Structure 1
Amino acid sequence: MIALGVDVGGTFTDLILADLAKGDVTIHKTPSTPSDPAKGVINGVRGICELTGTEPGRIDAIFHGTTVGTNAMLVHDGAVTGMITNEGFRDILHIGRHQRPQHYSIMQDLPWQSRPLIRRRFRKTVAGRLDAKGNELVPLDEEAVAKAARDLGAAGVEAILVGFLFSYVNPAHERRAAQIVRATLPDVFVTTSAEVSPQFREFERFTTAAMSAFIGPKVRRYVSRLSDELREIGVNGELRVMTSNGGLATPEMIAERPATTLLSGLVAGVRGGAWVGSHAGTDRLVTLDIGGTSADIGIIRNGRLAEADARSAKIADFPVMLPMIDIHTVGAGGGSIAYIDRGKAFRVGPQSAGADPGPAAYGRGGTVPTVTDANLVLGRLVADNFLGGRMGLDAKAAARVIGELAEKLGRTPEETAEGALTVLNSNMANAIRSRTVQKGIDPRDFTLCGFGGAGPLHAAGVATMLDMKNVLIPPHPGITSAVGLLTADLEYHALRTAFAVKGALDIARLQTLYDDMERELGAIFARDRVPSDKIKMLRQADLRYVGQGYELKIDVPDGPLTEAALDRVWQAFHDRHREEYGHAFEASPIEIVTVKLRGLGMVDKLAEPPAYTVSSEPKQVGVGRCVFRVDDTLETHDTPHIERNSLPVERKFAGPAILLQTDTTTVVPPGWTYWADRHGNVRMTHDNQA
């Protein structure tokens, strides 16, 4: 089977073509086209097919990570969206929960108020009401629904959310209203809150569904257009899209539930890091994926990707209730702009020069100093060996923009460039602390896995700030997200709100809920033509102590539910609560809030890293002047430029060194030791920490 992984980043589109039977792998990078991401994908597919001599028709499957939905939320560029809800509840999306994310700030920004996904004039109310048990109190006013749809259509809305109270218990009113809206406005994207996230907490449920409607038309058009253009160039393999939960979905599922793509491209990187780590013998990783615009941080404990909980899951600061891998993003990347703010403070990011015009070093007209320019000035990038020599860097342009900033600061260009890297690395180190130290996790017990186009440039510097002992750089860091796409299965989730308390729960009811979800996911997998022997169902549940306002996700045993099986669930909850918060209340009653089912449809995937060609001696292709900070002093070192793929296996070398390859550059500072392992990963340790 020939599989193609395609990950679209802010600057480059990364591709990996793998013959899964033979284990042969080819990588390729092409500039992204932010104004039309599909164009960059098609250019990349053509390029890698030409590079390998592969006919497009031989590609059996395309696995894709996209940031179309993510970017629509981040820049607030989605569809004009309307909403139909219960009378008296027009302003739930605006009011929220009266919670202040920053308790003592009187100037804080609440995005659901300052930049609403659905403006108030596009929120319509109709008669109809269910009680908390799903019983009808007031019949749905179907004529009012039709009129509201007509009014919204006349106002030019492109998407409509139908969201009613207690639809997570009984979605009948939402379903009927959606039928009416679709019949009235057949060209408008329509979704319901129960279709997107059938959970209690109406503000979060409505907001999550509003995101789905807000990005729905754009995501649906993108996936449809990409499918068509792939067919036009002869690619007939099945398209699969990465979702926020770390699994894959079909275009049909993405069209129905576009919100599942909100972390599509970001999750692929964490999956790739976890896969590399598992083969390198470590299951405790902090992944640091640095691209042109941002740095994405993930935590892997015991080989499992950390999942976001319902209290902290956010996109663009909007709460989201969907299964999501816990990823923290900061505005730190190769294109991050260094500048002096209005308070005369030296800052780096989150503003970025992006892909067009990009850093001044790209020679495309960039006029502002960026991190890439700083790395070039310090000698950490080699001007004539960028992208394996396929792209040259303009050293004079980089020196000019860094020099102009240095003049304003009253510093030398080298001090300014190194200062920019220190600020950027500090931003990333602080972000990692927020996901580790602030949660009781010691990052020193983990390996820092640096990838993305700029991850290997900064991994050692960030690790030093965190006192982390080990750094791992994958064989193809620049396309690790694309690699992650080839390690995933089809994955769908179903859930039901249960509200069942230990000692007074109906086991038969819980069993029925799980059985219903299995049938629901089974029907989806059947539509996707997944053989029954390739399907795996995993049960989970959200639990809390009675009276708590937050839940923890716990695995539930397969097979018939029994008292003995539930006893194991209760104990697992106590253990997890103790691990998460430092204590447990074993005498307190426990409540099952939500029952969940995770369905996996197994697909062919990349099983082993490609064989690493063993070399006897490292190949030095040059030497350059590099500036490093050592013990708070800037030092200039004559640093060897080494072809990374020439490193012998398990033979250690002392830094400094610049390791060159097609998709990235790895920086080994003074005081660090580096070597290649049997899978071609670069391992690094600091001499003072080894």
Structure 2
Amino acid sequence: MKTIGVDVGGTFTDLALCDVGNGEVVIHKVATTPHDPSEGVVQGVREVCARAGTEPGEIAYVFHGTTTATNAVLENKLARAGMITNAGFRDILHIGRHQRVEHYSIRQELPWQSRPPIARRHRKTVAGRLVPPTGAELVPLDEAGVGRAAEELKAEGVEAVAICFLFSFLNPAHEERARAIVEAVMPEAFVTTSSSVSPQFREFERFTTAALAAAIGPKVRRYIANLESALARLGVTGELRIMASNGGAATARMVSEKPALTLLSGLAAGVLGGRWVGERMDRHDLITLDIGGTSADISLIREGRFAETDARSTALAGFPLLLPMIDVHTIGAGGGSIAHLDRGGAFRVGPRSAGAVPGPAAYGKGGDAPTVTDAHVVLGHLDPEDFVAGDLRLDPEAAVRVVGDLAGRLGLPLHEAAEGILTVLNANMANAIRSRTVQKGLDPRGFALMAMGGAGPLHGAAVAQMLAIPEVIVPPYPGITSALGLLTTDLKYDAIRTQFQVSDSLDIARLTEGFAAMEAELAGLFSADRVPAERVRTTRTGDLRYLGQGYELSIDFPSGALDAAGLDAVWRSFHDRHAAEYGHAFPGSPIEIVNIRVAGTGLLRKLPGLAAPAGGSLDAAELRRGRCLFRIGGRLTPCDTPFYRREALPVGAAVAGPAIIVQQDSTTLVPPGARAGVHPSGSLVITLGDAA
């Protein structure tokens, strides 16, 4: 069986075509087409099939990580959307919560006020009210009012409608009836409900999540339809699967119905790819550092499990979200990040990026700003004749020109300015990792750093040195690890219910019934996707807190019938987790269950491993030697540096730094004092010495 993973980045679209039977992989990169990412995807699929000698009709699955939803929110390019909500609650989207996002700022921007996903004039209200604790009807739904609101929205040219009623997480009846009325009036519109997107309490976050789901719905639906049609015209008959933010894949049908699943689609695949690489090396505690052309994405994997966001920290472009997502921290730091002086004269690198067009000056496409890639070219770290396997020839003179202009403004020599660009960028990434480790009570020295992305292997060793991390892992295909990660995933759907209960007055039957209902719901979804029941796995978790607290921690629950002994283990786990997270616990205090969750996984055939590296000898792998500059003992020092072809390196070979290791999709920098070796799994392992 042959599958393709396609990951769309800010600069390149990465592809991996894999034969699942023997682990053979053919990789390819094409320029991202920002005006319509599907064009780059289809071009890449066509070209990678040609490289592999494979007909498009032989492809069983195309797994795709898409940035369509993410970019629509980040760039505020949303559909004209409307909302129907309870009378008197038109402005929930505007008011938000009483907490200040920035406690001490008097000029902070609140995105839900400055750029709301649904304009106030498109928010309509109707009579109807459900009340807690059961969702009983207090005021009947004004169905005629819903119809009038839909007619008004249709006349206003609205493309999508979010239906958001109070306490719909307890009883979705009013929302579902309103949806039916709106769809009858506006059959061409995208219609969603807050209870179908995120059936849990916290009305502001639930309404915002539903509003964003509506505002991205038409664009995501069109993108998926266009991509399916284009792949069909190419001759691809296999199924299209879309990466979801929760670390699993979803069918194209599911994503078209629930586009919010993809709000962080592209970022999740890199974490999965990093975990998969680590598993083949028996490394289960990892910091993944995925550096592309525009951004650096950071995530933690502990004991083989990736972290998920919580209600306090899940957000996109400042908008709070209530959705299961892999916890990925993103900063504006990549190969295309632009070095500049800010208005105060301070030296900055990023977050602005040269992107795919025009790209760094060294790309020769009209770029005129100094970027991180240009700095590497000036310092000799990149081979102008062998960049992206020779598919792109670099222009060293252009790089020298733009970095030289910046050096003049800084009053520094050319090479000091170039090295300064890298130092600032590396410090930004190291600080971002500290915020996810040291500031949360975790010691980064207990992790290995997984350097991924096109630019990750160039910076991994330097960032690790700043954090005293002893080991850097560079995957076999670092530049397309996200695309490979797509080939290691399964179908994954989540169900959630808000169910307030307290440990000292627990209704075990009600709790068991809630979990069973969600498991049945997920079984229906997998059945619709033709996944046999024997290939479905479910796991249970709950959002727990001490009674009176404002936020929760996610704790595992046992499967099957619940009893007092099993729940005692849950309470102990919560106390332990609370102590680890906050430094203290209250074992005698009652614990409140807020939400219960079930994650369902439909097992798919996936990439079992990669073909073992063939290698040869160290001498045969050496391409040439060049003059590269590195900081040694506080001084920028020119070094006679060997350049190696990665695929020719033998397993177990020890490459002493300084060295540059080149391959089709990335370049690895081994600094002075470090050593690199090829692991039997095909990954490079860089060990860092004190002299580096």
TM exceeding 0.5: yes
Distance 2:193 2:665 in 1: 43
Which 4+ stretches in 1 moved above 6 angstroms? Answer: none
1:295 paired to 2:312? no
Aligned to 2:645: 643
Contact conserved, 2:25 with 2:610, CA < 8 A, in 1?
no
Aligned to 1:209: 210
Q: SS at 2:138's partner residue? A: strand
1:97 paired to 2:97? yes
- Report the alpha carbon displacement of residue 413 of structure 1 after superposing the two structures with TM: 1.4
Distance 1:149 1:649 in 2: 65
- Report the alpha carbon displacement of residue 316 of structure 1 after superposing the two structures with TM: 1.0
Aligned to 1:307: 308
- Report the alpha carbon displacement of residue 326 of structure 1 after superposing the two structures with TM: 0.3
Aligned to 1:626: 628
- Counterparts in 2 of 1:35-184, with a 5 A limit? 35-132=35-132, 133-184=134-185
Aligned to 1:283: 284
Distance 1:74 1:158 in 2: 20
Distance 1:509 1:587 in 2: 24
Distance 1:319 1:128 in 2: 26
Distance 1:629 1:76 in 2: 42
Aligned amino acid, residue 93 of structure 2: L
Q: SS at 1:280's partner residue? A: coil
1:681 paired to 2:674? no
Distance 2:138 2:378 in 1: 70
More divergent stretch after superposition (198-207 vs 98-107): 98-107
Q: SS at 1:219's partner residue? A: helix
More divergent stretch after superposition (109-118 vs 57-66): 109-118
Aligned to 2:442: 441
- Counterparts in 2 of 1:261-660, with a 5 A limit? 261-618=262-619, 619-660=621-662
- Report the alpha carbon displacement of residue 689 of structure 1 after superposing the two structures with TM: 8.5
Aligned amino acid, residue 127 of structure 1: A
Distance 1:256 1:174 in 2: 16
Aligned amino acid, residue 335 of structure 2: G
Aligned amino acid, residue 557 of structure 2: V
More divergent stretch after superposition (401-410 vs 493-502): 401-410
Q: SS at 1:339's partner residue? A: strand
- Report the alpha carbon displacement of residue 177 of structure 1 after superposing the two structures with TM: 0.7
Distance 1:363 1:253 in 2: 42
Q: SS at 2:280's partner residue? A: helix
- Report the alpha carbon displacement of residue 496 of structure 1 after superposing the two structures with TM: 0.7
Q: TM-score, normalised to structure 2's length?
A: 0.98
Aligned to 1:11: 11
Distance 1:612 1:571 in 2: 46
Distance 1:324 1:637 in 2: 45
Q: SS at 2:103's partner residue? A: coil
Paired residue total: 690
Q: Deviations over 1:25-44 (max 9, x none)?
A: 11111111011100000000
Aligned to 1:257: 258
Q: SS at 2:225's partner residue? A: helix
Q: Deviations over 1:382-435 (max 9, x none)?
A: 100001112101111111111111111111111111111111111111111111
Contact conserved, 1:469 with 1:689, CA < 8 A, in 2?
no
Distance 2:212 2:467 in 1: 36
- Report the alpha carbon displacement of residue 631 of structure 1 after superposing the two structures with TM: 2.8
Aligned amino acid, residue 23 of structure 1: G
Contact conserved, 2:24 with 2:610, CA < 8 A, in 1?
no
Distance 2:326 2:567 in 1: 26
Distance 2:680 2:565 in 1: 46
Contact conserved, 1:557 with 1:565, CA < 8 A, in 2?
yes
Distance 1:636 1:655 in 2: 13
Contact conserved, 2:673 with 2:691, CA < 8 A, in 1?
no
- Report the alpha carbon displacement of residue 614 of structure 1 after superposing the two structures with TM: 3.5
Aligned to 1:23: 23
Contact conserved, 2:198 with 2:210, CA < 8 A, in 1?
yes
- Report the alpha carbon displacement of residue 617 of structure 1 after superposing the two structures with TM: 2.3
- Report the alpha carbon displacement of residue 121 of structure 1 after superposing the two structures with TM: 1.1
Distance 1:301 1:615 in 2: 35
Question: What's the Cα RMSD here?
Answer: 1.1
Q: TM-score, normalised to structure 1's length?
A: 0.99
Aligned amino acid, residue 497 of structure 2: R
More divergent stretch after superposition (565-574 vs 281-290): 565-574
Distance 2:633 2:116 in 1: 49
Aligned amino acid, residue 657 of structure 1: A
Q: Which runs of 5+ in 2 are unaligned?
A: none
Contact conserved, 1:477 with 1:663, CA < 8 A, in 2?
yes
Aligned amino acid, residue 143 of structure 1: A
Q: SS at 2:505's partner residue? A: coil
Q: SS at 1:518's partner residue? A: helix
Q: Deviations over 1:442-477 (max 9, x none)?
A: 111111110101000111111111111110000100
- Report the alpha carbon displacement of residue 648 of structure 1 after superposing the two structures with TM: 2.1
